[in-house]
Structure formats: structure tokens, C-alpha cells
A and B are shown apart, each in its own frame.
Chain A
Amino acid sequence: MNLLEVSGLKKNFGGITALQGVELTLRPREILGLIGPNGAGKTTLFNCLSGQTRPDGGTIRFCPQSRPLNLAGKRPDQVAALGVSRTFQNIRVFGQMRVIENLWVGRHLVTRSGFLGALFKTSRFQKEEAESLELCYRLLEFVGLEGKANLMASELAYGDLRRLEIARALAAEPKLLLLDEPAAGMNLSETATLDQLILKIRQERGIGILLIEHDMKLVMGLCDQVLVLDQGKTLAQGKPEEIRQDPEVIAAYLGLEVEHA
């Protein structure tokens, strides 16, 4: 069964049509690249998936276990609780918190003991806290931020901030990860490391990844599937090599990019 199935998704902002019937399918453990010219609706689609924007029509079927759920119209905290995490193009980590605290907030959904547990240091709380902390440190290592746990997040370099944001998204143990232009503003070697990281996430965590990306090399090299969005509609979805040869796609978008690349 598919992990994510979007069909007929629509969204208008005032008189402007942002999405007019998006179709998308994502299988478990798959990396799906979302491409399309500016204004094609990529960000709006992400916002609908994360619950930040309420779609006007269509369905978002998310199936982390055996029973599919409709995400359309759910609040962001509810969507998060069902197992969807996201990052942003303009990184949104908590700058006034330590690196490890950022991950700790990310684990909000997973840790259960509340204030009373913390106050009385119940054994369940202590056990849970120790495990959770251990997990956070392992996550830092996983993304390559070991040794930076106690820095303020605002002190991190740009590339590290991106990795921290991804680590925080993973801290919630999501089933679906939405990455909004993870390579934006990164140099070549940083992009290569990121490439490795995304593959490692899929390999070790077995989750579905949906990413918006402008870097064509990254998209074509990394993704199992590519979806082209144009004027709020799905133009095509398929394997990277199919997409590269699709005449419609070339006409609308790729042709220009490939020539310049």
C-alpha cells in the first residue's frame, strides 16, 4: 500500500489558484523529488501536507500503518502526531536554545511523562529521559553534529543548521519526512554530504521522504521518483529517466534548466 496518496488537491488564495488538482503517490521507503517552476505550488502543497494550510478540496491519504488516514483539514500538531515532520527552505531552528534542546523539543510527541513526572523524578520518567537523551545524542552523531550538543543553535554554521533542522524533524520519529529545499545555499561538498545523509535516513529509518529541490543533479541522482508540478497541477510523475525524456516536461520546465546546467 502507498504511504501517501494525494488526489485532486485544490487550494485558492483569494482569486489566485495555487493548487488545482494535484495527484501524488509515495510508496514506503521511497524518495520522491518535487520539482517545478516558481509559483508551481510546491510550497503550498507542502503546507497542505503539514497542516499549515487547509486545502479547499481533495484528499491526502496517509497510511503509516494498515489504516489510511485523511490529513486534509487536520491541524499541524495533529499531523505531526500522526507521523509527518518537515523542514523549511529558510531554516527554522530555535536559535535561543541549545542544539540538544532543539532535538528535545522535537521529541515532544514521543516523550510522555509530563511536569509531575519531572517534578518527582519518577523512575519511569528517569528511564524515559535517559533513553530519550541517548537517542538525541545518537541523532546528532547520525547527522554529523557530534560534539556540538551544548552550543546555542544560533552559533552554528549554515550547513550545520540545516543538519540540525533535519535531526530535529527525525527526533519525532516520523513516518514521512518533508524536506523543503534542503540543499538551498549549500556548496558542492555540503550538497554531497547532504545527499549521503538523505540516503542514510531512508536506509536506516525506512521512512518515506518527499523533497522540494531546485538542484537538478541532486534530484535526478537521489530520487526514486520525480514529480513535476506546473501551475498547481501534476504534470508528470515517474522515474527520473522517464521524467527527463517526457516531452511535456521538457517543454514546460526541464528543457530550459537542462540547457543551462
Chain B
Amino acid sequence: MNEGVAYFLGICFSGLTRGSIYALMALGYTLVYGILSLINFAHGEVYMIGAFVGLVFAGLGTILGLGPVANAALALGAAIVWAGAYGFILERVAYRPLRRAPRLAPLITAIGMSLFLREFVILAQTSDFVAFPPLFEALPSLPQGWGEFVLPSELLILCSTLAVLFGLYLLVQHSKMGLAMRSIAQDPEMARLLGIDVDKIISFTFVLGSALAAVGAVLISAQIGQINANIGFIVGIKAFTAAVLGGVGSPGGAALGGLVLGLTESLAAGYLSSDYEDGFAFLVLVLILLFRPAGLVGKNLPEKV
């Protein structure tokens, strides 16, 4: 294969891998925003906690002598449950009491929770980078030629993300729960009048978003190989950018926005300079806000009254 083409494909795959994680994270922002019109700024910290839980349980699995697949399943499962519990408690503690408060109040508690969770992990664990156990070692190697531009782990992450996205699509569009979520997004009071327990659906949405974040966190941490207490911050902001890029409140937009952002970053880093990688991500945010504030797939909706 031509070296330039392989380089280009390699960049695309690493961008899509990264974008997968942004997409999973952006969905958490956008689902919550769709229902509560609230930006959950502590979402990045839930991601970080998911990574730490994954690390602890993957280490435990190694000690217990589990096989690679069982170990990965344990790490992933534990991270999902743990992060889901954090999402549930977060909503109960920081947002539900402020349901009727002015919009600014839950925004401030969100930032407060974000700082609290990060400092909590730094105190309880460490502020240093810690090595994440390699979960993907046992993956079979790819056919001849593929290896030039894509890693088995990248393909795994990409495929897992697409599977999760498809499952989420079915959930939102074709299940009773999804219908209830959409009805709350459109008219919460009417949803209540139809017998929907709005608080329960909101809790479910937080748990769901947190579980998605945990999946992304474990996958990418195993790929990168190290984590620390600050990883949630930058990924959180990038994923928020992806959500805005796609059109906040739109799940399809969030997924698309995540992948586009990952590609943009990767292409900019690969062809221009890796020093400006983050810069390009936020340049995209600025451009979108200037020229298409409703996002890629969002319609320019009139102001809610």
C-alpha cells in the first residue's frame, strides 16, 4: 500500500477511535440536556471514576487469574454499575433539589460536583498517572496489510461503540422507556399527566448516560494504558463540544458530532501539528457557535417559552 494512503487511513482510524469516546460521552450530555435543559458538567468526572473502577477491577481480575475476556468483562461491568450509581446519586444530590430553582443554580452545583469528585479521587487514590492494565492483549492480529494503518484495539473500540449506539437508538426510538424520555423532553407536564413518573425517567437517563461514559472510559483507558484524576476534565469539555457540534439535545447529532470532532483533531494533529490538537477541537466549537449554533443536525428552534 502507498505510504501516504496508509498514513491517512491510520489517522482516520485513530480519529474515529477517539471520536467514539467523544460520541459516547456526548450522548450523556445530550440525553440529560434533552430532558432537563441542564448541562451536567460533572459528566467528565463520572467518566474518570468509570476509568478508575475499571482499573481496580481489571487489576483484581488479574490477581484472581481471570482470562483476558473475563477480565475485560469484569472491568467493564463493574465500571458501568459503579458509574451508573454515581450518576444516580449525582442527580439526587446535586440536581433534583434544585429542579425548580433558577437555571444558574444547578449549573453551579454541577461545577461544584465536578470539582468535588476530582479532588475526592485525588485524595482517595492519587494525583499521579497510574498504569491501566492492558485488556486488549489477547486480541487476534489483523490480516496482512491492515496492520499498516489500524490496531486491533482501535477496531474493537469502534465496533463496540457502533453497537452501543445502535442499542441506544433502539432504546430511544423503539422502547417504552425511550418514548417516555422523548415525551418528557417535549412537555414534561403533559408526560406526567399521561401517568409517566418523570423523576424515575430522569434517574434512568442519568444512569444511562453514566453507563455510556464508563464504557468509553474503560475502552480508551485500556488503549492508552494510563489514567489520572484529571482525564475527565478535558474529555468532558471535548465531548461537550461534540454535543454542541451535533446539536445539543439530539442523540444522533451527538454521535455524529463526536466522530467528526475526533476526526478533525486527528487530521489536524497528523497533517498540521500535534501541538495544536486541542486548539483545533475548540476552533471547531467556536466556528459552530458562530455559524451554526443549532449544530450539524439541529434545526434552529425558536426560543422555548
Contacts and interface: CB of A to CB of B under 8 A. Distances in A.
A155 interface: no
A254 to B, nearest CB: 31
B182 A97 contact: yes
A111 interface: yes
A172 B194 contact: yes
A115 B190 contact: no
Interface residues of B, number: 21
Interface in A99-151: 101, 104-106, 108-109, 111, 113-115, 118-119
Given A94-B182, A95-B186, A97-B183, A106 B174 contact: no
A76 B177 contact: no
Nearest to A82: B195
A80 B193 contact: yes
Interface string B186-229: 11011111111110000000000000000000000000000000
B180 interface: yes
B193 A118 contact: no
B207 to A, nearest CB: 12
Q: Give the contact-size bracket for chain A.
A: 20 to 34
Contact of A108 (B171, B174, B189, B196): B196
Residue with the highest number of chain B CB atoms closer than 10 Å, among A80, A105, A115, A118: A105
Contacts of A92: 187, 190
A71 B92 CA distance: 28
Nearest to B174: A118
Contact of B176 (A51, A86, A95, A111): A111
Nearest to B185: A96
A106 B196 CA distance: 9
Contacts of A114: 176-177
5 contacts: A94-B190, A96-B186, A115-B177, A119-B175, A168-B194
Interface of A: 50-52, 75-77, 80-81, 85-86, 92, 94-97, 101, 104-106, 108-109, 111, 113-115, 118-119, 168, 172
